[in-house]
Amino acid sequence: MKTNQSLLTILLLFVFAQTACNQKVKVMKYNPLTPEEEAVIIDKGTERPFTGEYVNTKDNGTYVCKRCDAPLYRSEDKFESHCGWPSFDDEIKGAVKRVTDADGSRTEILCAHCGAHLGHVFKGEGFTPKNERHCVNSISMKFVAKKENASEIAYFASGCFWGTEYHFMKAKGVKITTVGYMGGHTQHPSYREVCTGTTGHVETTEVEFDTTKTSYEQMVKLFFETHDFTQVGGQGPDIGDQYRSVIFYTTNEQKEIALKLISVLKDKGYKVATELHAAPHFWGAEEYHQEYYDKKGGTPYCHVYHKIF
């Protein structure tokens, strides 16, 4: 009896080993860290106050994770708290994970993408109207300065991204368009995954435009004039969560412009179904989706231009 059980155990272990060998294990690639960086980012240490690189930084740009380059904070949310570490009163949506310390006394903040230790978050101190302070180690971040050129980035979701991109790539002042996925919880999503409607992502077009030739307001107007922004849960015959109408803003200025135009549309009697969200991470779609109609020929089946403004 014991012999049979032993043979069965060996057989199961063999099958398990073979299965594990045949599976493709996806390994996340991280940036190499110095011992000093590891002491904070991996071992959850704290750099000495007033010694960090970004304590007094006031330049415009984005703070990204030192370990994985995921965007964490925007410069406009940084403020002077005189605590000795960079302070922010808001994070980029979905970029930061909160975990209560083992002793329950503080709340740790981690990069939501790779789990890197950032620092701690505090509430109720009254520094800013948002009443929240993200106390972040400079060594946990890299600062990416805003390019001082005439370009601006915008993100629009209006159903199938083939049709959305078709109109934007032909618009005056647009330099580059890229289709992809935005707004969901799945990392590195594929088209097949997004099509299930369970990832939370919407098909989105990233638009880079020349601000000397056009404006963000013109981009938003084109967005509304090339799809049915009153339709809920899809666009034309394309029904599903991934096809809903969304504007992802990257700055408060973009948000205010979008809100202004939505108000204009409501005054005209439209029931606007378009959602408005802060821009999270943008995941580029597979190459065969890029500039689809230029490659394949034809025109969009559910994106037609109608002048409104």
Catalytic center residues: 135, 160
- 176 DSSP β-pair partners: 208
User: What is the distance of C-alpha 89 from the center of its chain?
Assistant: 18
Which one, of 135, 127, 173, 141, lies nearest residue 61 by Cα? Answer: 141
- 107 DSSP β-pair partners: 100, 121
CA gap 166, 158 in Å, rounded: 12
In this structure, what token pair is assigned to residue 167?
């109109």
Note whether 92 and 118 are within 8 A (CB).
Answer: no
Note whether 229 and 308 are within 8 A (CB).
Answer: no
User: What is the distance of C-alpha 67 from the center of its chain?
Assistant: 17
Question: Parallel, antiparallel, or unpaired: how do β-strands 282-284 and 275-278 relate?
Answer: unpaired
